[in-house]
Amino acid sequence: MRVFQIEGDWGIDNLKLSVRPEPEPGPGEVLVQMKASSLNYRDLVVPDRGYGSHTGTLPLIPVSDGVGEVTAVGLGVRRVVPGDRVCPTFFQNWTGGEPNLERLTGSLGGPIDGTMSEYMCLPEEGVVKVPSHLSDVEAATLPCAALTAWSALTTCSTTKPGDRVLVQGCGGVALFAVTFAKLLGAHVTVISSSDERIERVKAFGADATVNYRAVPEWAKATREITGGRGYDLIFELGGEKTLPQSLRCIRPGGTVAMIGILSGSTMATSLGLIITRQVRLQGVTVGHRDGFEAMLLAIDQHQVKPLVDRVFAFEELKEAMAYLKSGAQFGKVCIASRH
């Protein structure tokens, strides 16, 4: 079967179209014929071994997100049957409960082989069935970015109707955050660097917006949007440069969901504000299978359609990665069916 893999040495130049033997499902395993994949920021980091020893070993098949059809099942499999359309879960060992080291280290697309493969052989516990109203590329967008947004809103905090939620940027996690926060009845503010994106995200459902390039001190402007009260939940995607602002517009007792470090990973902020406002800094790492299945119920119930910006062919993985890196997209960058 055809795969993309990083081979020989780390680095994007060593990401190559290659061939591996087709796997066979053993007891408790399922064989999935992959139909589509979707890219996340982390997929740009993996080829350079950006997560250190947690990135895995070579050769490595990249990309965490995808969808496919079960074509065969091993002895004793009960959760799925051939013909089911499934997404592999991002963390293959985290089905539910509290995170622990073992649950947080088994992620697809590094260190475990990812979705850029014609077939994947996975434990039956590591897949979820997807709703029928979604196309393959739409379903492929869900395992990482969507579940991260869902977990921040529902597992790592408890978002209620009327809550004020602030989302940084218009990237993959951010747009799912807007969708799910609105679905839960929250009021959503989005900050973005581009007026064009701001117009698009307003049409997509954002209640209020601020251009963080035009207004670098956006904490004051966004706090005013909440009538001075501050935000119940902030999607912290920027990290180093944005956290100091977030701490000035979170409400006392609010939650800053620590998700991304797009502007740097050093903590250089007034710790006093965290104490005096009794702020909760809550790390979010994608989420577990129970959360994924709860999110899928909501997606099915409300017929949610993920926003797909552009679809590339299987052979065009590197072009798709370059497009994601350019930041030109509004919605997910996907890789189409390979059959």
Of these, 194, 226, 269, 282, which contacts ligand NAP (CB under 6 A)? 194
Instruction: Between 25 and 47, name the residue whose CB sits nearer to ligand NAP.
Output: 47
Binding map of ligand NAP across residues 236-255, x = CB under 6 A, - = no contact? -xx--xx-------------
Tell me how far the alpha carbon of residue 156 is from its chain's centroid: 15
In the block, tokens 């359609």 appear at: 305
Shortest Å, Cβ 84 to ligand NAP: 26
Q: Is 5 in the site for ligand NAP (CB under 6 A)?
A: no
Q: Is 222 in the site for ligand NAP (CB under 6 A)?
A: no
* Contact between 306 and 134 (Cβ < 8 Å): yes
Question: What is the enclosing helix (H) or strand (E) of 320?
Answer: helix 317-326
Q: Is 148 in the site for ligand NAP (CB under 6 A)?
A: yes
Residues in 37-96 that interact with ligand NAP by CB under 6 A: 40-42
- CA-CA distance, 176 to 145, in Å (whole number)? 7
Tell me how far the alpha carbon of residue 13 is from its chain's centroid: 25
Binding map of ligand NAP across residues 151-190, x = CB under 6 A, - = no contact? -----------------xxxxxxx----------------
Instruction: Between 25 and 239, name the residue whose CB sits nearer to ligand NAP.
Output: 239
In the block, tokens 């591996």 appear at: 20
Q: Is 35 in the site for ligand NAP (CB under 6 A)?
A: no
Shortest Å, Cβ 198 to ligand NAP: 8
First to last CA, the chain: 11
Residues in 292-331 that interact with ligand NAP by CB under 6 A: 327
Assign 239 to helix, strand or coil: coil
Report the residue closest to ligand NAP, judged by CB. 171
CA angle, residues 316, 318, 321, in degrees to nearest 5: 110
φ/ψ of 172, rounded to 5, equals -60, -55
- CA-CA distance, 186 to 160, in Å (whole number)? 7
Shortest Å, Cβ 237 to ligand NAP: 5
- CA-CA distance, 32 to 123, in Å (whole number)? 11
Shortest Å, Cβ 75 to ligand NAP: 34
**Residues in the site for ligand NAP, rule: CB under 6 A?**
40-42, 144-145, 148, 168-174, 191-194, 197, 212, 237-238, 241-242, 259-263, 284-286, 327
